[in-house]
């Protein structure tokens, strides 16, 4: 099995890699989150073990990007943070399991086997995420910084389009399909202060449209 191990603690990474290689797995180790995200876009893996607190890009954001790309890669997050909210958040953004440090290597491999028995993620989750913002498309439920976010129908449609674009600019004409006149500007002005409090920004691209940006790199990913 080809496993991507993303861990910036060299001693822990060496121990995990040595143990898994002893079981016959092929291990690719990276210590930088941005490098890991780039590699995941070009190389195929059977499993990923990702630390939450990483330089470059945090573990939560890596998982969010994996799921938004529709990748069914099985993922276990590993971290020194063991608060219930942290575990719930890790699972909500798309991880298959969450393993707090310190852990026994035997438990790690047992959890990996359990995830594989469940079939990993053969289908992408019907959830869109952008940093601390999560949209449950089936239930039409939104949460921001792990708190429920009340939205009108048109606010939901606008936000769904921006989140689905994953940082790319959405033409104003597309957003106006659900509104008319200057209504888009009205809804954007309503959403902006709520999102900015959580480190997100709706940026105006003059003459074209809008895009969603994060103003806090790796928000929520510190170990």
Q: What is the pLDDT of residue 135?
A: 86
What residues have CB less than 8 Å from 212, skipping those under 6 apart?
130, 162, 163, 165, 167, 195, 200, 201, 202, 203
Same-domain pairing of 103 and 158 = no
Nearest-5° Cα angle at 164, 162 to 165: 65
Q: Is residue 223, in this structure, part of any structural domain at all?
A: no
| Residue 122 domain-assigned (yes or no) | no
Q: Are residues 111 and 41 in the same domain?
A: yes
Regarding whether 131 and 113 lie in a shared domain, the answer is no
Q: Say if 44 falls within a structural domain.
A: yes
Residue 102 region by backbone torsions, left for phi larger than 0, else alpha for psi between -120 and 50, else beta:
beta
Q: What tens-digit pLDDT sequence spans the chain (223 residues)?
A: 899 999 999 999 999 999 999 989 999 999 999 999 999 988 889 999 999 999 989 999 999 888 887 788 999 999 887 677 777 888 888 899 989 988 999 999 999 999 888 775 544 457 788 888 988 887 778 888 878 888 888 888 899 999 988 889 999 888 876 555 568 888 899 999 999 999 999 999 988 899 999 876 444 444 4
* Domain around 172: 127-214
pLDDT at 122: 41
Pick from 64, 92, 117: which residue ends a domain? 117
Residue 193 CB partners (closer than 8 Å, separation 6+)? none
Same domain, 160 and 79: no
Residue 53 sits in a domain whose CATH number is 3.40.50.2300
Q: In Å, what is the CA distance from 142 to each residue of 93, 128, 136, 149, 159? A: 13, 10, 6, 5, 10
Cα angle: 171, vertex 175, 177; to 5 degrees: 120
Question: Which tokens go with 60?
Answer: 């939560």
Q: Which two tokens stand for residue 187?
A: 């809804």
In a domain, 79, yes or no: yes
Based on the fold, state whether residues 86 and 154 are members of the same structural domain: no
Q: Residue 200: which of 220, 214, 190, 218 has the closest Cα?
A: 214
Output the pLDDT for position 186: 87
The predicted pLDDT at position 202 comes to: 95
Domain boundary at 117, 141, 173, which? 117
11 occurs within a structural domain? yes
Residue found by looking up tokens 């909500």 in the block: 92
Looking at the structure of the chain, the number of domains it has is 2
Both 103 and 148 in one domain: the answer is no
| pTM recorded for the entire structure | 0.57
219 belongs to a structural domain: no
């Amino acid at each position: 099995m080809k496993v991507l191990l993303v861990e910036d603690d060299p001693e822990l990474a060496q121990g995990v890699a040595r143990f898994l290689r002893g079981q016959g797995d092929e291990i690719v180790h990276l210590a930088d989150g941005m490098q890991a995200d780039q590699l995941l876009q070009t190389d195929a893996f059977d499993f990923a073990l990702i630390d939450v607190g990483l330089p470059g890009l945090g573990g939560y954001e890596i998982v969010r990007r994996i799921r938004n790309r529709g990748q069914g890669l099985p993922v276990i997050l590993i971290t020194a943070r063991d608060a219930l909210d942290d575990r719930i958040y890790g699972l909500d953004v798309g991880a298959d399991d969450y393993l707090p440090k310190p852990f026994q290597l035997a438990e790690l491999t047992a959890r990996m086997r359990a995830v594989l028995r469940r079939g990993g993620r053969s289908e992408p989750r019907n959830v869109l995420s952008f940093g601390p913002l999560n949209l449950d498309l089936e239930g039409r439920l939104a949460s921001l910084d792990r708190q429920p976010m009340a939205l009108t129908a048109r606010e939901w449609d606008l936000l769904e389009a921006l989140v689905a674009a994953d940082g790319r600019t959405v033409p104003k004409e597309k957003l106006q399909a659900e509104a008319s006149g200057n209504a888009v500007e009205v809804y954007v002005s309503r959403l902006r202060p709520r999102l900015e409090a959580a480190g997100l920004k709706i940026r105006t691209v003059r003459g074209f449209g809008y895009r969603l940006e994060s103003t806090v790199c790796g928000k929520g990913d510190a170990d």
